[in-house]
């Protein structure tokens, strides 16, 4: 094991002792937010320390086996034990490297999923509806809750824009790599001559802020307008001005919500989306300043980046970031995303491990 890795693990052993004392203190639960943060850190640190203790035991077993090999009558047995210990050490070191990777603090958050039609007119709006169904079907398979925040329909039944809130364990960690440009190649239903058209949509996945308070929303910087909610075809959902439009004046970010008949609930939902968008903007600006120029740009949230192509005539879906092509487009569009999302997560993990190795070199 490299000295830098061992040094990090030794420091974690000391950190675990500090956390144990803090959590055992009489006033530990006085600040519940702090208590929860310490508890989460304790779970992560204790898991890594347990692996380290197993590694140290395997290391001791290897040393004992080497000493035993000095006895000619025990050499065969000692060689076998040494082989077992070395195998265990290699496995545990790999697990420890993963355990030491920086955790994304947003992974366990709920999220806002925003899908917008782009180039391609009505066909793009229809594709936006297909993407909406794909993600909601995936969410259903995970037993996550899906709540429509706002939607703007096109004339042919697609979506110019749709925003949903997805709530469930690990939701953001699974879908966070979906932000970017999604392109479709297929023959539109309106195409009389059977020509293949290309159109595109943009997808944004934003982690939900724990509370609006996490992003400071100054009432003086908000313009809140009310208007009458309307449904498809121009039919009024209700006869009161319950729909809400919130404009954040410093950034120009605008959020509308008309899903509920209650003006108060629509306002609360709109502020939640606004907080998530402001938070995402702040994080993106910070990332741009620190400029992590990893070649994959997985999860960078670059809206202009074309990340995936859905080719219906060939029955394939290609993710351009990892050069992965799957010939199962119907199943993917029906929400079977585990193979695709798993491959993205695995590549991201490989990139992190590579960066850790460069740092330790």
Query: Per the structure, how many domains does the chain have?
Result: 2
Whole-model pTM? 0.66
CA atoms within 13 A on the CB side of 281: 12
40, 72, 99 — which closes off a domain?
99
Mean pLDDT confidence for 172-186: 92
Which CATH number covers residue 197?
Answer: 3.30.70.1660
State the first-to-last Cα distance of the chain, in angstroms, to the nearest integer.
Answer: 12
Note the pLDDT of residue 157.
Answer: 82
**What pLDDT, on a 0 to 100 scale, did the predictor assign at position 138?**
97
Residues 327, 127, 337, 349, Cα dihedral to 10°? 100
Per-residue DSSP letters for 228-283?
Answer: --B-GGG-BS-SS--EEEEEETTTTEEEEE-SSS-HHHHHHHHHHHHHHHHHHHHH
Tokens 């006085």 label which residue?
30
Tell whether the model's pLDDT for residue 149 goes beyond 90: no
Whether 45 contacts 19, CB under 8 Å: yes
| Selection from 302, 350, 353, 345 nearest residue 175 by Cα | 345
The average pLDDT across 202-221 equals 77
- 145 has a pLDDT exceeding 50: yes
Task: Tell which of 64, 99, 134 closes a domain.
Answer: 99
For residue 310, the model assigns a pLDDT of 96
Residues 6+ apart with CB under 8 A from 197: 120, 123, 185, 186, 187, 188, 191
Is pLDDT at 59 greater than 90 in this prediction? yes
In a domain, residue 121? The reply is: yes
Which residues constitute the domain of residue 251?
Answer: 111-349
- Judged by average pLDDT, the poorest of 175-189, 220-234, 261-275 is 220-234
* The last residue of a domain, from among 99, 134, 169: 99
Higher pLDDT, 4 or 293: 4
Q: Give the C-alpha separation, 59 to 92, whole Å.
A: 11
45 Cβ contact partners less than 8 Å away, ≥ 6 residues apart:
12, 15, 16, 19
Q: Residues 296-355: pLDDT tens digits?
A: 333 443 434 589 999 999 999 999 999 999 999 999 999 999 999 999 988 888 887 777
274: CB partners within 8 A, 6+ apart: 217, 246, 248, 253, 255
Task: Judge whether 355 lies within some domain.
Answer: no
Torsion angles phi and psi, residue 62, rounded to 5: -65, -40
Q: Give dist(CA 279, CA 209) in Å, integer.
A: 8
């Amino acid at each position: 094991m490299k000295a830098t890795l061992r040094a990090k693990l030794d420091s974690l052993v000391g950190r675990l002792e500090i956390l144990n004392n803090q959590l055992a203190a009489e006033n530990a639960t006085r600040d519940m937010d702090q208590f929860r943060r310490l508890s989460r850190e304790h779970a992560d640190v204790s898991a890594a320390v347990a692996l380290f203790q197993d590694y140290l035991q395997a290391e001791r077993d290897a040393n004992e086996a080497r000493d035993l090999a000095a006895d000619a009558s025990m050499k065969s047995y000692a060689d076998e034990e040494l082989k077992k210990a070395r195998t265990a050490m290699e496995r545990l070191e790999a697990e420890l490297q993963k355990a030491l990777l920086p955790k994304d603090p947003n992974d366990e958050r709920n999220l806002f999923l925003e899908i917008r039609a782009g180039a391609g007119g009505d066909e793009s709006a229809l594709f936006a509806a297909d993407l909406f169904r794909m993600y909601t079907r995936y969410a259903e398979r995970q037993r996550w809750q899906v709540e429509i925040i706002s939607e703007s329909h096109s004339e042919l039944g697609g979506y110019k824009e749709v925003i949903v809130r997805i709530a469930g364990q690990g939701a953001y960690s699974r879908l966070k790599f979906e932000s970017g440009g999604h392109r479709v190649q297929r023959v539109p239903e309106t195409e009389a001559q059977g020509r293949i058209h290309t159109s595109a949509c943009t997808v944004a996945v934003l982690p939900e802020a724990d509370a609006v308070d996490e992003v400071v929303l100054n009432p003086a910087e908000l313009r809140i307008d009310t208007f009458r909610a309307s449904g498809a075809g121009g039919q009024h959902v209700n006869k009161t001005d319950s729909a809400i439009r919130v404009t954040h004046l410093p950034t120009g970010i605008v959020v509308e919500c008309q899903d509920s008949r209650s003006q108060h609930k629509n306002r609360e939902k709109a502020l939640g989306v606004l907080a998530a968008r402001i938070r995402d903007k702040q994080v993106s600006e910070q990332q741009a300043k620190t400029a992590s120029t990893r070649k994959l740009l997985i999860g960078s949230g670059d809206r202009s980046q074309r990340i995936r192509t859905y080719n219906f005539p060939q029955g394939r879906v290609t993710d351009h970031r990892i050069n992965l092509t799957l010939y199962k487009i119907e199943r993917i569009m029906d929400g079977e995303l585990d193979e695709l999302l798993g491959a993205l997560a695995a590549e991201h993990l490989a990139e992190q491990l590579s960066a850790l190795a460069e740092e330790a070199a």
